[in-house]
């Protein structure tokens, strides 16, 4: 399943009048959770809207699960779930009533729709407030209700447009946990659009970075994580050149960067605990040890600095 | 599966046929409308006139009742084209108030809360969305206009003899067709205004404006310019002209509220063309406004 493209962008171009918004995008996305990154105005929402059939491509096309969005828009939409960026609801309807209606519009018979609406509400943690009017929900509740309507009909691909927008830290954490849980079940592919690197890093395994309507970068976060797993940064007290030499004798590549900081790459044969043993032998305190972080930030910044087009 | 298990599972059951999904919107709209006591009362009260008409038809053919009441009902009211045209005129005016009350609330809440993207992200087209919303008004107004009209026609046919029904079959057809002209105009106009003006009370007020202010403006044009072409922006005049043709009525004898003054007639072709242009303009407005995502050029 991992090798079959979920979304293929085949020279996809979208214009609003004379203004090109998406410029002949080409990419093959296979991940279970795909992040869509880019600054404001990069074309993230336009790409999602085009894949949903809201905008017609000016040229080129895209395929979702092998089906062309130009020719199979309706049948494709039964496989998709969409959580929009902005508030989207009917204020006077109760939450469960609204989600039930959305399920029925997706084709579920009335009895199944009401059952699944309740399930979806409990799943996103809104079980207790499901009979309250949507207009009375807090921002976090509205985000969760939008997620409930997006998953109620059992989609195969879920578009999440800025799902943590405006959420406070605990609500954001809850939303991220929900997305991770959905991904972990492996039954739904996710495309998450965000300008928050942390959201994408915590939930996605592939990232497509857009800039000015172009694909600025495409990377497999899972592979990045695997490679970075062996890249360590260490903050020590009492260490000297002899400690670094001892590390190198273990087979590691190490670099002393002053102030007790050591960067090193662990070979597969060396375990982290051996570093602690070595430090204990040499009477060195390891105050902090991190796997290399911010890899996505590095990739994103490089993509933004690149003059035109792909890295 | 019980809700307390709090988990997610994909749906693998049967799906409803695609063509029937527009009715989901209508069902939810009806459920919402039922909550309004005023609307329920108004709707029930709107059947008073057809009930009185049914009573008159019954009395005209019930010799015992005529004997008790000591008058000849047949001399008071003639049951013919004018009787049914006036019935339709009265009921259609009530349908106008219904459209002004119900129509603005059909699309504007979806637009003001950005719900369209959620509808249209599903296997559900813009045309189905509009059809779903239209069907609410069309169903309610049908029950108010041509359905009681045709039922009264059948009652008269039953009481008078089926030969009468056969001789006057044109009336039944005219009731049906004329009502649908009015229903289409009202439905599309109120939905277009509801889509164009997101604020519900303003959309309702605009509908009154389109009918009454435009009619007054048209009359002013006629008065100042000494012409009859001002009627071209008077919707009740345009519809009245079509009705006169369908019922085969002379100008001046038209349905109540839909009269066409004698010597101020505009040709049927012009009136139909004007109505078609208005309907196409309404559809154009709906096409622009009913979108999953707004395009900022």
Query: In Å, how far is A238's CA from the nearest CA of chain B?
Result: 51
How sure is the predictor about A310, in pLDDT bands with cuts at 50, 70 and 90? Answer: very low
Point out which residues pair with B205 in neighbouring strands: none
Q: Is residue A135 part of a domain?
A: yes
Point out which residues pair with B124 in neighbouring strands: none
The mean predicted confidence, pLDDT, of chain A is 88
Cα distance between residue B53 and residue B68, in whole Å: 19
Query: In Å, how far is B16's CA from the nearest CA of chain A?
Result: 5
- 3 state SS for chain B: CCHHHCCCCCCCCCCCCHHHCHHHHHHHHHHHHCCCHHHHHHHHHCCHHHHHHHHHHHHHCCHHHHHHHCCCHHHHCCCCHHHHHHHHHHHHHHHHHHHHHHCHHHHHHHHHCCCHHHHHCCCCCHHHHHHHHHHHHHHHHHHHCHHHHHHHHHHHHHHHCHHHHHHCHHHHHHHHHHHHHHHHHHHHHHHHHHHHCCCHHHHHHHHHHHHHHHHHHHHHHHHHHCCCHHHHHCHHHHHHHHHHHHHCCCCCCCCCCCCCCCCCCCCHHHHHHHHHHHHHHHHHHHHHHCCCCCCCC
pTM for this predicted structure: 0.85
Interchain contact, A87 vs B114, CB within 8 Å: yes
A164 lies in the same domain as A64: yes
Q: Is residue A297 part of a domain?
A: no
A167 lies in the same domain as A255: no
Chain B contact present for A52, CB below 8 A: yes
Cα distance between residue A7 and residue A10, in whole Å: 10
Among A55, A107, A118, select the one facing B15 at the smallest CB separation. A107
The total of other beta-carbon atoms located within 10 Å of residue B1's CB is 10
Tell me which residue range forms the domain holding A276: 229-291
Residue A4 has pLDDT above 90, yes or no: no
- Domain segments of chain B: what residues? 21-289
Q: Is residue A286 part of a domain?
A: yes
Nearest of A146, A138, A126, A194 to residue A168 by alpha carbon: A138
Tokens 């009264």 correspond to B152
Specify whether the CB–CB gap between A286 and A260 falls below 8 A.
no
A204 lies in the same domain as A239: no
Quote the pLDDT of residue A1.
47
Nearest of A256, A262, A268 to residue A292 by alpha carbon: A262
Cα distance between residue B194 and residue B287, in whole Å: 13
Cα distance between residue A101 and residue A107, in whole Å: 10
Interchain contact, A101 vs B113, CB within 8 Å: no
Of A194, A221, A248, the domain-final residue = A221
Of A221, A241, A264, the domain-final residue = A221
Question: From first to last of its 297 residues, what are the pLDDT tens digits of chain B?
Answer: 444 456 677 888 899 999 999 999 999 999 999 999 999 999 999 999 999 999 989 888 887 877 777 776 666 678 889 999 999 999 999 999 999 999 988 998 898 888 999 999 999 999 999 999 999 999 999 999 999 999 999 999 999 898 999 999 999 999 999 999 999 999 999 999 999 987 888 888 899 998 888 888 888 998 898 888 888 888 989 999 999 999 988 877 777 778 778 777 888 999 999 999 999 999 999 999 999 887 766
Quote the pLDDT of residue A149.
95
Q: Is residue A109 part of a domain?
A: yes
Question: A-chain residues within 8 Å CB-CB of B28?
Answer: 97, 101
Give the largest Cα separation in chain B, rounded: 77
Q: Is A164 helix (H, G, I), strand (E, B) or coil?
A: coil
- Length of chain B as a residue count: 297
Q: Is residue A206 part of a domain?
A: yes
Specify whether the CB–CB gap between B221 and B63 falls below 8 A.
no
Specify whether the CB–CB gap between B292 and A53 falls below 8 A.
yes
Q: Is residue A274 part of a domain?
A: yes
CA A55 to chain centre: 23
Q: What is the DSSP string of A22-70?
A: EEEEEEEE--SEEEEE-STTSSHHHHHHHHTTSS--SEEEEEETTEETT
Task: Please give the ipTM for the structure prediction.
Answer: 0.85
Chain A, residues 119-178, CB within 8 A of chain B, namely 119-120, 122-123, 127, 149, 151, 153-154, 156, 159
Specify whether the CB–CB gap between B237 and B219 falls below 8 A.
no
Q: Is residue B42 packed enough to be buried (19+ CB in 10 Å), middle (13-18) or exposed (0-12)?
A: middle
Of A172, A202, A221, the domain-final residue = A221
Interchain contact, B118 vs A118, CB within 8 Å: no
Quote the pLDDT of residue B276.
96
* pLDDT tens-place string over residues A217-263: 888 887 776 666 678 888 998 888 888 888 888 888 888 877 888 88
Question: A-chain residues within 8 Å CB-CB of B198?
Answer: none
Chain B, residues 95-114, CB within 8 A of chain A, namely 109-110, 113-114
A81 lies in the same domain as A112: yes
Question: B-chain residues within 8 Å CB-CB of A149?
Answer: 118
Cα distance between residue A273 and residue A13, in whole Å: 52
Q: Is A159 helix (H, G, I), strand (E, B) or coil?
A: strand
A243 lies in the same domain as A265: yes
A238 lies in the same domain as A115: no
CA B61 to chain centre: 32
CATH assignment of the domain containing A247: 3.30.70
Query: In chain B, which residue's Cα lies nearest the Cα of A109?
Result: B16
A120 lies in the same domain as A193: yes
Hey, what long-range contacts does A129-134 have (CB within 8 A, 24 or more apart)? A129/A95, A130/A94, A130/A95, A130/A96, A131/A94, A131/A95, A131/A96, A132/A94, A132/A95, A133/A91, A133/A92, A133/A93, A133/A94, A133/A95, A134/A89, A134/A90, A134/A91, A134/A92, A134/A93, A134/A94, A134/A95, A134/A98
Mean pLDDT value of segment A126-139: 91
Q: Is residue A198 packed enough to be buried (19+ CB in 10 Å), middle (13-18) or exposed (0-12)?
A: middle
Chain A, residues 19-48, CB within 8 A of chain B, namely 19, 45
Q: Is residue A166 part of a domain?
A: yes
CATH assignment of the domain containing A86: 3.40.50.300
Quote the pLDDT of residue A311.
44
Cα distance between residue B240 and residue B249, in whole Å: 10
A163 lies in the same domain as A93: yes
A201 contact partners, CB below 8 Å, separation of at least 6: A35, A221, A296
Residue A299 has pLDDT above 80, yes or no: no
Specify whether the CB–CB gap between A55 and A14 falls below 8 A.
yes
A39 lies in the same domain as A103: yes
A266 contact partners, CB below 8 Å, separation of at least 6: A230, A231, A232, A252, A272
Cα distance between residue A123 and residue A95, in whole Å: 13
Q: How many domains does chain A have?
A: 2
The tokens describing A184, both together, are 């972990």
Cα distance between residue B240 and residue B259, in whole Å: 6
- The values of phi and psi at residue A265, to 5°, are -115, 120
Interchain contact, B118 vs A108, CB within 8 Å: no
Specify whether the CB–CB gap between B180 and B92 falls below 8 A.
no
Residue A25 has pLDDT above 80, yes or no: yes
Cα distance between residue A119 and residue A110, in whole Å: 14
């Amino acid at each position: 399943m991992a090798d079959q493209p979920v979304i293929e962008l085949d020279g996809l171009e979208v214009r609003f009048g004379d203004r090109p918004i998406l410029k002949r995008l080409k990419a093959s996305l296979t991940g279970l959770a795909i992040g869509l990154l880019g600054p404001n105005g990069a074309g993230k929402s336009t790409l999602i809207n085009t894949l949903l059939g809201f905008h017609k491509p000016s040229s080129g096309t895209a395929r979702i699960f092998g089906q062309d969005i130009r020719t199979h828009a309706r049948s494709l939409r039964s496989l998709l779930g969409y959580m929009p960026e902005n508030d989207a609801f009917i204020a006077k309807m109760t939450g469960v009533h609204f989600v039930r209606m959305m399920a029925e519009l997706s084709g579920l018979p009335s009895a199944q729709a009401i059952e699944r609406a309740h399930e979806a509400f409990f799943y996103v943690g809104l079980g207790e407030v499901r009979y309250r009017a949507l207009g009375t929900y807090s921002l976090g509740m509205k985000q969760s209700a939008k997620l409930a309507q997006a998953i109620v009909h059992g989609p195969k691909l879920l578009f999440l447009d800025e799902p943590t927008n405006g959420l406070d830290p605990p609500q954001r954490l809850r939303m991220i946990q929900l997305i991770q849980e959905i991904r972990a079940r492996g039954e739904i592919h996710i495309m998450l659009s965000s300008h928050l690197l942390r959201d994408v890093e915590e939930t996605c395994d592939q990232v497509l970075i857009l800039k000015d309507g172009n694909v600025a970068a495409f990377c497999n976060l899972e592979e990045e994580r695997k490679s970075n797993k062996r890249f360590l940064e260490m903050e020590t007290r009492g260490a000297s050149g002899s400690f670094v030499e001892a590390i190198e004798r273990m087979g590691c590549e190490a670099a002393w960067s002053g102030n007790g900081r050591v960067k090193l790459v662990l070979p597969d044969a060396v375990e982290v605990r051996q570093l602690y043993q070595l430090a204990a032998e040499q009477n060195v305190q390891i105050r902090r040890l991190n796997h290399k972080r911010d890899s996505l930030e590095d990739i994103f910044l490089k993509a933004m600095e690149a003059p035109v087009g792909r890295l | 599966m019980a809700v307390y298990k709090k988990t997610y599972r994909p749906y693998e059951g049967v799906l409803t046929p695609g063509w029937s999904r527009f009715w989901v919107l209508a069902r939810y709209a009806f459920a919402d409308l039922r909550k309004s006591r005023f609307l329920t009362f108004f709707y029930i009260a709107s059947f008073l006139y057809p009930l009185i008409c049914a009573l008159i038809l019954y009395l005209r053919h019930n010799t015992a009742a005529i004997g008790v009441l000591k008058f000849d009902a047949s001399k008071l009211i003639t049951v013919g084209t004018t009787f049914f045209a006036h019935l339709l005129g009265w009921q259609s005016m009530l349908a106008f108030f219904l459209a002004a009350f119900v129509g603005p609330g059909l699309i504007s809440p979806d637009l003001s809360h950005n719900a369209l993207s959620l509808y249209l992200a599903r296997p559900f087209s813009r045309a189905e969305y509009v059809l779903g919303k239209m069907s609410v008004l069309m169903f309610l107004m049908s029950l108010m206009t041509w359905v009681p009209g045709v039922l009264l026609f059948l009652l008269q046919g039953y009481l008078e003899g089926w030969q009468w029904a056969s001789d006057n079959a044109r009336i039944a057809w005219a009731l049906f067709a004329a009502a649908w002209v009015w229903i289409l105009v009202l439905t599309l106009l109120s939905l277009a205004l509801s889509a164009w003006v997101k604020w519900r009370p303003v959309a309702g007020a605009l509908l009154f404006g389109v009918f009454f202010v435009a009619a007054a403006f048209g009359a002013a044009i006629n008065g100042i310019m000494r012409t009859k072409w001002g009627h071209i922006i008077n919707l009740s005049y345009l519809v009245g002209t079509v009705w006169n043709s369908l019922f085969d009525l002379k100008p001046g004898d038209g349905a109540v509220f839909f009269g066409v003054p004698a010597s101020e007639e505009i040709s049927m072709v012009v009136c139909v063309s004007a109505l078609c242009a208005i309907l196409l303009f309404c559809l154009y407005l709906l096409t622009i406004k009913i979108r999953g995502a707004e395009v900022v050029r």
